[in-house]
């Protein structure tokens, strides 16, 4: 195996400028959407007192979950000493930081009072998992930046592995925290489950790696740098395992719920209802986000970068659908306030069989702008710093390569 | 330095200060004794956990279709002051609502008001990242509008869906009931009425309205005072907490459900 040479991308091509331009416009549109929503108040959104977390939360949670997953590639190299993953470490950490920044931006800008961020940063109610998450997110930036520094600075090499282990442990705790936001909601039929935390961890593995692989393939294609099959094959096989694991956890979650009579109604609503959540669950989450990409990954199609890229996009879309069904679906199903009773009428929407949420355009734009900001950070990152190996050809990275 | 006393309008400063202190002392002492006579809690005394405010709602007495309590709450707290014109129905704040229920097994129908249950172990307080949702010593669960960041996690956590988010700018607010765009709010048990000194303390507006209508479906009082009407009634009759399985020990209890 040769010595890896990291190099900034040139960033002079019209394609690069166009990419920055498009991402910049989406990011600016997101800022515009935020100003509009903040100035008018949340009445311009599809959210109300029943669906209190909407589209911005779906994107924010997806990005935050994916962020910790994107770090896995670096962790496999550092913590588990897999040599082939090591050249990808820097890019992996950069993506983790970028995705988290994008997600947190959306989360923050959707607050009722984002101007009071300082309150959230200075006063903590330690019984709140949300408060813990604020510490975990800030800590994630600190831990990963130190990790990156150890990775990039030659004289810091002795500390590189401990920093990597610290980052790995931190990311596991962070995703446990994100999953527990839902797992700790005792009153909601769809949420109150211990499996939420581990399921979110496995979701992060899958979504994070899908994004990593997609950006890796696009990045090397656009910069015309060599990306060998050895590394792609390793990553796609791992991705397949993660996608299957997400399906397994989803199955375990619903089977457990289906066993308990008290959860039959909410399961019927998600799995066999007439709302959008049932369609999203079966068609987008399970079929498009799970079964089809699995079939692609483990078939001969996977030798084609186009098909593989398509599979990663499907996993990402399926992931967004999964978060949507968890976050919005969980709220759309009415609270079981009076078990055994049927609500005939109420002035506060209690009598609805389920709540309908129609996301407004600004909400969607704010959400998608988080994705744009994340990609913008990655693009600028690889432009100004040495994140991307000049070559990831098999001969350069694969320790078992005979050629 | 000249230590000689400087006369103030013919009296020395020392004498003047002494006389002032004595006058003030007499004033305060008489005030204190008056308060003792009236047995009232002065306004500057913090609330204590010697009290726990609670409500007993009798669904058998609650009239189907009657919205007196809801209307009174809206007026008392300025919820219908002509604001929230832009908000959709599901976005408008509602601190107390009327719910009509039917028992799935027996077809028995009941009507009851639902409001913040002022839990002893409130999930909204547990999940609030900044501590803006808090429980007072006397059991009231309130929101500090100055530290609420509008994350709405409390609304996700509340098993009774008792909280509302303010979706637009509010004008015409009442002096006693501060509210604000981008923050969460809920029933306060009319805290501004309860915090008056004991002589002027009044029951929450919903309770007054229900009594005025002759339904007498809501009893309000101190659940820690064994002689209060609510304690007597709770002791005498069976009552239930909504979602008792969650063990939140709400301050609002129901009969006839």
pLDDT, tens only, A334-355: 988 998 899 999 888 888 789 9
ipTM (interface predicted TM): 0.91
pLDDT of residue B37 exceeding 50, the answer is no
Is the pLDDT score of B226 beyond 60? yes
In a domain, residue B47? The reply is no
Across A47-61, B35-49, B135-149, least confident range: B35-49
Gap between the Cα atoms of A212 and A224, Å rounded: 18
Residues B26 and B102 in one domain: no
Q: How much is the average pLDDT of B217-236?
A: 95
In a domain, B1, yes or no: no
Write the CATH number for B58.
Answer: 3.30.70.20
Tokens of A9: 């991308």
Distances in whole angstroms, Cα of residue A230 to Cα of each of A83, A226, A312? 12, 12, 18
Average pLDDT rounded to a whole number, residues A138-166:
91
Which of the four pLDDT bands, split at 50, 70 and 90, describes residue B5?
Answer: very low
pLDDT value of position A229:
94
Q: Among candidates A138, A124, A214, A212, which has minimal Cα distance to A174?
A: A138
Does B244 lie at the interface with A, CB-CB under 8 angstroms? Answer: no
Is B212 found in the same domain as B108? yes
Q: Least CB-CB distance to B130: which of A53, A125, A355?
A: A125
Give residue A10's pLDDT: 87
Query: Å from B20 to nearest chain A CA?
Result: 44
CA-closest candidate to residue A204, choices A246, A168, A247, A166 = A246
What are A31-35's contacts with CB under 8 Å, separation 24+?
A31/A369, A32/A365, A33/A361, A33/A362, A33/A363, A33/A365, A33/A366, A33/A369, A34/A109, A34/A366
Q: Do B97 and A348 touch (CB under 8 A)?
A: yes
Which of the pair, B41 or A45, is modelled with greater confidence? A45
Does the beta-carbon distance from A337 to B114 stay under 8 Å? yes
Give the pLDDT mean for A160-166: 93
* Residues A316 and A214: beta-carbon distance below 8 Å: yes
Distance (Å) of CA A166 to CA A75, A150, A199, B29: 10, 12, 22, 64
Same domain, yes or no, for B167 and B223?
yes
What pLDDT sits at residue A153? 87
The residues near A374 (Cβ < 8 Å, ≥ 6 apart) are A63, A95, A98, A99, A101, A102, A103
pLDDT value for A6: 92
Best of B129, B183, B246, B252 to disrupt the A interface by mutation (most A CBs within 10 Å)? Answer: B129
Q: What is the pLDDT of residues A84-105, one digit of tens each?
A: 999 999 999 999 999 999 999 9
Least CA distance to B94: which residue of chain A? A348
| Cβ <8 Å between A123 and B130 | yes
Q: What is the mean pLDDT of residues B65-88?
A: 90
Q: In whole angstroms, give the CA distance from residue A59 to residue A367.
A: 5
Using a pLDDT cut of 70, give the percent of chain B over it.
Answer: 83
Q: Render pLDDT for A361-382 as a digit per residue (tens, 0 to 9).
A: 999 999 999 999 999 999 999 9
> Does residue B25 sit in the same domain as residue B126?
no
Instruction: Look over chain A and give the mean of its residue pLDDT values, rounded to a whole number.
Output: 93
Residues of A in contact with B117 (CB under 8 A): none
Residues of B within 8 A of A50 (CB-CB) are: 90, 161
- What are the counts of helices (DSSP H) followed by strands (DSSP E) for chain B? 7, 11
Are the Cβ atoms of A41 and B158 closer than 8 angstroms? Answer: no
Restricting to B residues 20-59, those with a Cβ less than 8 Å away from any Cβ of A are none
- For residue range A52-76, list pLDDT tens digits in order: 999 999 999 999 999 999 999 999 9
Q: Is residue B122 domain-shared with residue B200, that is, in the same domain? A: yes
Domain assignment present for B48: no
Domain shared by B219 and B150, yes or no: yes
> What pLDDT shows up at residue B8?
45
Q: Look at residue B203 and tell me if it is in a domain.
A: yes
Minimum mean pLDDT among A39-43, B34-38, B91-95: which range? B34-38
Q: Does residue B45 belong to any structural domain of this protein? A: no
Of A48, A52, A355, the CB nearest to B156: A52
pLDDT of residue A376: 97
Q: Is B70 on the interface with A (CB under 8 A)?
A: yes
At A359, the pLDDT band (50, 70, 90 cuts) reads very high
Q: Are residues B202 and B234 in the same domain?
A: yes
Structure confidence at residue B22 as a pLDDT band (50, 70, 90): low
Q: Which of A178-192, A317-331, B160-174 has the lowest mean pLDDT?
A: A178-192
Chain A residues near residue B123 by CB distance under 8 angstroms: 185-187
Least confident range of A11-20, A288-297, B11-20, B186-195: B11-20
Pick the more confident residue, B44 or B209.
B209
Note whether B168 contacts A130, CB cutoff 8 Å.
no
What is the token pair recorded at B142?
């309130």
A134/B157 Cβ within 8 A? no
| B23-33 tens-digit pLDDT | 666 555 555 54
Parent domain of B19: 7-38
Task: Give the whole-angstrom CA distance, residue A158 versus residue A160.
Answer: 6
Rounded Cα–Cα distance for residues A134 and A197 (Å): 17
Q: Is residue B215 part of a domain?
A: yes
Q: Which CATH class is domain A6-334+354-397?
A: mainly alpha
Nearest CB to B243: which of A112, A125, A337? A337
Predicted confidence (pLDDT) per residue in A179-215, tens digit: 888 877 878 878 878 888 899 999 999 999 999 999 9
Buried-state track A253-267, b at ≥16 Cβ within 10 A, e below 16: beeebeeeeebeebb
In chain A, what are the domain boundaries?
Answer: 6-334+354-397
Contacts of A35 (CB under 8 A, 6+ apart): none
Name the band, by pLDDT with cuts 50, 70 and 90, for residue B41: low
Per the model's pLDDT, the better-predicted residue between B35 and A40 turns out to be A40
Q: What is the mean pLDDT of residues A223-229?
A: 94
* Residues B15 and B134 placed together within one structural domain of the fold: no
3-state per-residue secondary structure call for chain A: CCCCCEECCCCCCHHHHHHHHHHHHHHHHHHHHHHHHHHHCHHHCCCCCCCCCCHHHHHHHHHHHHHHHHCHHHHHHHCCCCHHHHHHHHHHHHHHHHHHHHHHHHHHHCCCCHHHHHHHHHCCCCCCHHHHHHHHHHHHHHHHHHHHHHHHCHHHHHHHHHHHHHHHHHHHHHHHHHHHHHHCCCCCCCCCCCCHHHHHHHHHHHHHHHHHHHHHHHHHHHCCCCECHHHHHHHHHHHHHHHHHHHHHHHHHHHHHHHCHHHHHHHHHHHHCCCHHHHHHHHHHHHHHHHHHHHHHCCHHHHCHHHHHHHHHHHHHHHHHHHHHHHHHHHHCCCCCCCCEEEEEECCCCCCCCCCCCCCHHHHHHHHHHHHHHHHHHHHHHHHCCCEECCECHHHHCCCCCC
For residue B38, name the pLDDT band (cuts at 50, 70, 90): very low
Please state, as a whole number, how many other Cβ atoms lie within 10 Å of the Cβ of residue A16: 16
Q: Could you give the number of structural domains in chain B?
A: 2
Which residues between 125 and 154 in chain B have a beta carbon less than 8 angstroms from any beta carbon of chain A?
Answer: 125-132, 147-153
> A371-388: string of b/e by CB count within 10 Å (b at 16+)?
bbbbbbbbbebbbeeebb
List CB contacts of B203: < 8 A, sequence separation 6 or more.
B190, B193, B211, B220
């Amino acid at each position: 195996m040769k010595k890896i040479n990291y190099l900034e991308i040139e960033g002079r091509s019209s394609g690069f400028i166009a990419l920055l331009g498009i991402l910049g416009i989406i990011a600016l549109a997101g800022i515009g959407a935020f100003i509009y929503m903040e100035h008018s108040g949340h009445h311009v959104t599809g959210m109300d007192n029943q669906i209190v977390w909407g589209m911005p939360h779906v994107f924010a949670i997806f990005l935050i979950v994916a962020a910790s997953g994107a770090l896995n590639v670096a962790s496999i190299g550092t913590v588990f000493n897999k040599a082939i993953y090591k050249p990808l470490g820097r890019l992996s950490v950069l993506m983790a930081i970028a995705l988290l920044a994008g997600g947190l931006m959306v989360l923050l800008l959707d607050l009722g009072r984002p101007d009071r961020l300082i309150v959230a940063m200075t006063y903590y109610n330690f019984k709140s998992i949300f408060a813990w998450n604020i510490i975990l997110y800030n800590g994630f930036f600190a831990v990963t930046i130190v990790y990156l520094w150890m990775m990039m600075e030659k004289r810091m090499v002795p500390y590189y592995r401990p920093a990597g282990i610290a980052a790995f442990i931190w990311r596991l705790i962070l995703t446990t925290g994100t999953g527990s936001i839902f797992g700790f909601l005792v009153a909601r039929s769809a949420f109150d489950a211990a499996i939420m935390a581990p399921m979110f961890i496995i979701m992060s593995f899958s979504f994070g790696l899908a994004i990593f692989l997609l950006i890796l393939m696009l990045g090397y294609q656009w910069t015309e740098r060599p990306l060998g099959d050895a590394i792609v094959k390793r990553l796609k096989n791992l991705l397949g395992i993660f996608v299957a694991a997400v399906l397994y956890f989803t199955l375990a979650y619903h089977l457990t719920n289906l066993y308990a009579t008290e959860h039959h109604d909410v399961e019927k609503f998600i799995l066999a209802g007439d709302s959008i959540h049932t369609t999203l669950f079966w068609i987008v989450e399970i079929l498009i986000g799970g079964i089809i990409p699995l079939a692609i990954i483990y078939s001969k199609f996977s030798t084609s970068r186009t098909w593989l890229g398509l599979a990663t996009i499907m996993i990402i879309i399926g992931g967004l659908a999964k978060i949507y069904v968890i976050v919005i679906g969980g709220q759309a199903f009415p609270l079981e306030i009076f078990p055994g009773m049927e609500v005939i009428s109420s002035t506060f929407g209690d009598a609805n069989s389920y709540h309908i949420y129609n996301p407004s355009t600004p909400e969607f734009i704010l959400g998608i702008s988080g994705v744009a900001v994340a990609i913008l950070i990655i693009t600028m990152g690889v432009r100004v710093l040495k994140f991307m190996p000049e070559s990831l050809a098999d001969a350069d990275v694969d320790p078992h390569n005979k050629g | 330095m000249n230590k000689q006393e400087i006369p103030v309008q013919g009296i020395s400063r020392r004498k003047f200060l002494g006389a002032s202190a004595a006058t003030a002392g007499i004033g305060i002492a008489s005030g204190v004794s008056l308060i003792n006579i009236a047995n009232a809690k002065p306004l500057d005394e913090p609330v204590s956990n010697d009290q726990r405010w609670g409500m007993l709602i009798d669904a058998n007495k609650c009239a189907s279709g009657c919205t007196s309590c809801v209307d009174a709450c809206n007026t008392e707290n300025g919820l219908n002051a002509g604001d929230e014109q832009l908000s959709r129905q599901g976005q408008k704040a509602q601190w107390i609502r009327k719910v009509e229920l039917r028992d799935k097994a027996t077809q028995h129908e009941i009507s009851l008001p639902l409001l913040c249950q002022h839990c002893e172990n409130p999930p909204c307080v547990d999940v609030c990242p900044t501590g803006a949702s808090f429980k007072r010593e006397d059991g009231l669960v309130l929101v500090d509008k100055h530290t609420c960041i509008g994350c709405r996690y409390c609304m996700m956590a509340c098993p009774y869906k008792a909280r509302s988010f303010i979706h637009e700018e509010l004008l015409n607010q009442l002096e006693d009931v501060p509210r604000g765009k981008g923050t969460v709010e809920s029933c306060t048990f009319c805290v501004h009425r309860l915090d008056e000194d004991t002589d002027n303390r009044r029951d929450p507006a919903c309770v007054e309205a229900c009594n005025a209508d002759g339904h007498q479906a809501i009893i309000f009082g101190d659940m820690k005072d064994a002689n209060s009407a609510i304690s007597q009634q709770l002791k005498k009759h069976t009552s239930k907490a909504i979602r008792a399985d969650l063990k939140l020990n709400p301050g609002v209890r129901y009969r006839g459900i």
